[in-house]
């Protein structure tokens, strides 16, 4: 394998597992500086060392996946499940030959009892290496979903008194936001960022817009909100 391919493998393995350089350093026992130098091609290292570091990250990934899977099965078969929910899961298990099909059906369910169960979100984050969870969050946005554009990987909010950019974790390009009530939001489905509070807080179409240009405003909100993000999705959850 060529040197550049090895560097890419280490970087891609780390990013696919959503590990920071610091977390990768803790797992491998190597310094964050060394890992960055390897990934950026600034450090000459042997093939064995780079392969070793990549394998350690993969081992961490699969060990965690096994642990996640075990916890999901424990939640599915929890003897404390309500009678009706337990019956629903038993019926679904009888109808599906594989766990993969079972998990997919659970995630596509519109049953409120299933959606708000202890196992729904863990399955969402686990299934298809976490890709299914993005669709779970997007589905939660429903018709309240609005689109924005990002060149700084963020969403711009503010008014004549202030303006801030909040990173949404989805990089540049198109992103989405929704303003939700507490009973519309699945807690623990997204990452909490901050609280905002005030009157006439504008949400802008583009994160590099001029905050003074009202033509760029997509939505205006007032009150206190908890702000959550997940991979290019932003939820403004109204606080009661």
Instruction: Indicate whether this model's pTM tops 0.75.
Output: no
What would the pLDDT profile of 32-67 be if each residue is shown by its tens digit?
A: 888 888 888 777 767 777 777 777 777 777 677 777
* 221: β partners: 201
Nearest to 47 by CA among 94, 2, 100: 2
Rounded distance between C-alpha atoms, residue 160 and residue 24, angstroms:
42
What would the pLDDT profile of 190-216 be if each residue is shown by its tens digit?
A: 889 999 999 999 999 999 988 888 889
Percentage of the chain exceeding pLDDT 70: 93
Rounded distance between C-alpha atoms, residue 182 and residue 240, angstroms:
8
Between helices 32-39 and 47-76, what is the axis angle to 10°?
Answer: 110
Rounded distance between C-alpha atoms, residue 210 and residue 180, angstroms:
26
């Amino acid at each position: 394998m060529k040197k550049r391919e090895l560097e890419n493998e280490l970087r891609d393995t780390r990013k696919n597992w959503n590990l920071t350089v610091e977390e990768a350093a803790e797992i491998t026992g190597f310094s964050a500086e060394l890992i960055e130098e390897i990934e950026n091609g600034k450090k000459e290292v042997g093939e064995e060392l780079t392969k070793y570091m990549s394998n350690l990250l993969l081992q961490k990934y699969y060990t965690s996946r096994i642990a996640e899977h075990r916890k999901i099965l424990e939640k599915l078969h929890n003897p404390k499940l309500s009678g009706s929910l337990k019956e629903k899961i038993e019926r679904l298990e009888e109808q599906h030959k594989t766990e993969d099909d079972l998990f997919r059906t659970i995630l596509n369910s519109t049953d409120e009892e299933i959606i708000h169960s202890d196992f729904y979100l863990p399955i969402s984050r686990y299934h298809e290496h976490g890709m299914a969870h993005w669709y779970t969050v997007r589905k939660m946005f429903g018709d309240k979903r609005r689109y924005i554009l990002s060149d700084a990987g963020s969403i711009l909010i503010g008014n004549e008194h202030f303006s801030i950019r909040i990173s949404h974790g989805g990089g540049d390009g198109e992103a989405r936001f929704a303003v939700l009530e507490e009973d519309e939001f699945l807690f623990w489905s997204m990452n909490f960022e901050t609280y905002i509070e005030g009157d006439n807080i504008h949400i802008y179409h583009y994160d590099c817009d001029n905050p003074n240009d009202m033509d760029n405003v997509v939505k205006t909100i007032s009150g206190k909100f908890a702000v959550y993000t997940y991979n290019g999705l932003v939820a403004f959850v109204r606080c009661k």
